[in-house]
Amino acid sequence: MFKKQLTIKIILFLVLTDILETFTHLCFKKSALAGSGLNVLNPAGIFEFIVLVFSSPFVWLGLLTVLSVFIIWSSILSKIDLSVAVPIASFSYILVPLTSVVYLHEKISMLRWLGIFFILIGVIFVSLSSTEKESPLR
């Protein structure tokens, strides 16, 4: 019935992209911290910021994982709709805050966890609707 059916294989690859994406964001945060003290309200400051951040190895490590996510993502998108694929890849909305507490020692208030919970429920709703009958594809 569905041309664009979710298989276990696709879900596993989506979970893999979640883990890689979480790693990417940790790397980006690490590299961004290098330029956190700069005043970037003028063009020279923006340039200096970009040079400083891109000389951090973390940003390149992050980009490497972005590339691998891109390769996996491209093959996933050829099989299922974007509006179905994106929500399932959203497990990272829990993974990223958790890892930022553990590895970056960020503090997350109860109110913020509530907001994150809302976002996650929203994302689950968005992905649940993919099991509704969709328009016949071609």
Partner 1 sequence: MKEGLVLILFLIFTTSICDTINQLILKSAINSLEASLSFNLIKILRFILKLASLPRVWIGFLFSVLSLCIWLFVLSKVDLNFAFSVDSMHYVFIALTSQLILKEKVCWRRWLGTLLIVVGIVIVSLN
Counting contacts by CB under 8 A, is residue 42 touching partner 1? no
Distance between CA atoms of 96 and 106, rounded to whole angstroms? 11
Residue type at 49?
A: F
Binding mask 71-110 for partner 1 (x = CB under 8 A): x--xx-xxx-xxx--xx--x-xx--xx--xx--x-x-xx-
Binding-site member from 6, 28, 65, 88 for partner 1 (CB under 8 A) = 28
Report the residue from 23, 49, 69, 91 that binds partner 1 according to the rule CB under 8 A.
Answer: 49
29 binds partner 1 (CB under 8 A): yes
**Cα pseudo-dihedral 95, 100, 105, 111, rounded to 10:** -80
Asked if 55 touches partner 1 (CB under 8 A), the answer is: no
Q: Which of 8, 42, 43, 135 binds partner 1 (CB under 8 A)?
A: 135
**Residue from 38, 51, 60, 102 that binds partner 1 (CB under 8 A)?**
38
Can you tell me which of 1, 36, 39, 43 binds partner 1, judged by CB under 8 A?
A: 36
Least distance from partner 1 to the Cβ atom of residue 58, Å: 10
